[in-house]
Amino acid sequence: MGRLLNKIKEPNDIKRISPKLYPILAQEIRDFLIDHVSQTGGHLASNLGAVEITMALHICLHFPEDKVVYDVGHQSYVHKLLTGRKDEFTSLRQKDGLCGFPKRCESDCDVFGTGHSSTSISAALGLAVARDLEQKEETIAAVIGDGALSGGMAYEALNNLSILRREKKNMIIILNDNKMSISENVGGMSRYLNDLRSRRSYSEFKENVENALNNIPGVGKSVARTLKKSKDSIKQLFIPGMLFENMGITYYGLVNGHDIYELIHAINRAKQHEGPILIHAITRKGMGYKYAEKNPEKFHGIGPFDKETGEVLAKKTKKTYTDIFAESLVELARENKKIVAITAAMPSGTGLKAFKKHYPKRFFDVGIAEEHAVTFAAGLAAQGMRPVFAVYSSFLQRGYDQVLHDVCIQKLPVFFGIDRSGLVGADGETHQGIFDISYLSHIPNMVLMAPKNEKEMPAMMKFALEYNGPTAMKYPRGSVYDGLSEYNAPIELGKSEMIYEGQDVVILAVGNIMEECEKAVQLLKSQGYNPGLVNVRFIRPMDEEMLHVLSKKYSLIVTVEENQLIGGYGQMVSAFLHKNVCKNQLLTLGISDYFVGHATVNEQREEAGINADSIVKSIIDRMN
């Protein structure tokens, strides 16, 4: 197995393989990916669909001198294989192992790190302009999926590509069109690309017409030149590719994204082009593995699975916070007809598929467009609706200005369901939800909450959807914590919840870290200490009344959060104690000043010092 793949030890080794063997190599790559991702988990379907595109780039380009930026980056596994990292795949997405995304510190061939959508064209344009300023001879390419073209940043970059056209400088964009992002694509661009797919190859048609005219004796060449120069040239007569052509980007398509020879031909032609050029390649997500082809959404990001059956090995035994959010929202919307739900191309990941099923006319998938989603929600709220934007914490970062400017200044009742808040595990730096307290807690009018367990979540959602102003609730990826269910004081604005009274030391737990904090309390009790425990609930507004009480009773106050310490809840408590001239000791536990890499959540908590054992050690060290 892998006879050809085993010959690839370093970048450009693929060039030593006979062209007639390329299809066999493609199959070996797919077999390798299925075998390894079935053991480690990872992004499978998108990589299976990008095998031939990546092979063609590595055949036509020379690495690391030439450069490719992969949008989002989860489809870069084949690139890693072809640049000599095959033996590292046993550690894929594991602590200190191979990253699931391009990473500059991992290889010279990973020219630009990615993880979020719609960034590749901007980055590649920057690389191309730098190349030209330094008068280098390099081929620069961006690989972007059709789903990423629903993101506004991609169009800002396409618009800016005119600087290359003006100077007749080359840059290649490969549109990897599989009709999906994670879920099925939506919106006007998706419909436009669907229309392109249904038509005959524009590039082939244009060439055939020009060739035919050139062969007409006497006048043919003159007519062809005239058509090429005229505003009403042949490209204006037929729609395919016009959006890109009108932006000054030559459109080349359609290309079979699984025909390695057709792709090589297209890329070699594109390299010779003066100006930016887009190759439109049609692919199939999950290509070559029947279970991924049948259910590409399931195999977009998947845990370890049985490759013979396609079944995930670790069966879900408990509900997730996303499940509880989804179920509760459906119930609340049954009572309140003004509730509408919004997702930015993540209906499955955020749990909104259930809402869509029950209330299709009140469900809106805006595509990969978080900035638009926030202001769209603000507009709905201004007209009396109760919009809920379910979004991953790391992706809401992209809509920060809109949260502040369009929602909070106007005190509009938009509810943000912030999924994947805190540490997320194997997706690493680009997807950690450890900044949301820092970027939301300082905005006037914002109410920011975090439930301690499964039972508290629906009550917080009900409060949020009855509150007359902006609200946000942060909750983690993964299974719910079902402990402390007997503690269920009513949700009141800005009020925390006392779980255990104690002496000398009290722990203030923010949201899902309560599970580790409760374990820490039991460990401390076993060692003779008597700690108090508080469920923070409301990060903003902060429960100052509770803090006044705690400051008078406990000599040591400890805050624990899955957030950056800078700008986090602990710093808010520190500011309160300083303002009120309190003499208490304060211990703030959270994420220090670093980006958290890929590992398990437990490993990440241990590294940050916020697992139960680390919390206990920090408290005892401080008290002694």
pLDDT at 201: 52
Q: What is the mean pLDDT of residues 123-143?
A: 97
Binding residues: 74, 115-117, 146-148, 178, 289, 370
- Please state whether beta strands 305-306 and 276-282 pair in parallel, antiparallel, or not at all (unpaired): unpaired
Catalytic positions: 285, 370, 398
| pTM, two decimal places | 0.89
497-623: CATH number: 3.40.50.920
pLDDT at 230: 42
User: In angstroms, how far apart are the furthest CA atoms of the chain?
Assistant: 102
Report whether CATH 3.40.50.1860 matches the domain 5-199+239-294.
no
Report whether CATH 3.40.50.2300 matches the domain 321-474.
no
The pair phi, psi for residue 616, each rounded to 5°, is: -60, -45
- State what percent of residues in the chain have pLDDT above 70: 90
Tell me which amino acid residue 259 is: D
Torsional sign, CA 120, 121, 125, 128:
positive
Cis peptide before 304 (omega within 30 of 0): no
Strand locations in 237-360 (E): 250-256, 276-282, 305-306, 311-312, 339-343
Cis peptide before 565 (omega within 30 of 0): no
337 C-beta neighbours (distance < 10 Å), count: 11
Q: How far is 68 from 63, CA to CA, in rounded Å?
A: 9
Cis peptide before 64 (omega within 30 of 0): yes
Q: Is 296 within 8 Å of 44 (Cβ atoms)?
A: no
Sequence-ordered alpha helix ranges (H) in 318-453: 321-335, 353-358, 370-382, 393-396, 400-402, 436-440
Tell me which amino acid residue 257 is: G
> Using only C-alpha atoms, what is the Rg of the chain?
27
Tokens of 283: 């692919």
225 has pLDDT over 60: no
479 has pLDDT over 80: yes
Q: How far is 65 from 63, CA to CA, in rounded Å?
A: 5
Question: How do residues 503-525 score in pLDDT, each as one tens digit?
Answer: 999 999 999 999 999 999 999 99
- Please state whether beta strands 532-535 and 585-591 pair in parallel, antiparallel, or not at all (unpaired): unpaired
Q: What is the mean pLDDT of residues 366-395?
A: 98
Q: Is 507 within 8 Å of 348 (Cβ atoms)?
A: no
Polymer length in residues for the chain:
624
Q: How far is 456 from 577, CA to CA, in rounded Å?
A: 28
Question: How do residues 587-615 score in pLDDT, each as one tens digit?
Answer: 999 999 999 999 999 999 999 999 999 99
Q: What is the mean pLDDT of residues 289-307?
A: 94
The residues of the chain that CATH labels 3.40.50.920 are: 497-623
Q: What is the mean pLDDT of residues 443-453?
A: 98
Q: What is the mean pLDDT of residues 347-354?
A: 96
Residue 188 confidence class, pLDDT cut points 50, 70, 90: low
Residue 336 confidence class, pLDDT cut points 50, 70, 90: very high
491: left (phi over 0), alpha (psi -120 to 50) or beta: beta
From residue 103, how far is each of 99, 213, 260 by CA, in Å? Answer: 7, 49, 26
496 has pLDDT over 90: yes
Question: How do residues 568-578 score in pLDDT, each as one tens digit?
Answer: 999 999 999 99
- Taking alpha carbons only, the member of 476, 510, 512 closest to residue 496 is 510
Binding residues for thiamine diphosphate: 74, 115-117, 147-148, 178, 289, 370
Sheet holding 171-177, edge to edge: 67-70, 140-145, 171-177, 276-282, 250-256
Mean pLDDT in the chain? 92
Q: Is 396 within 8 Å of 416 (Cβ atoms)?
A: yes
The residues of the chain that CATH labels 3.40.50.970 are: 5-199+239-294, 321-474
- Taking alpha carbons only, the member of 233, 173, 150, 205 closest to residue 53 is 173
Q: What is the mean pLDDT of residues 135-144?
A: 97
pLDDT at 519: 98
Tokens of 275: 């100006």
pLDDT at 237: 40
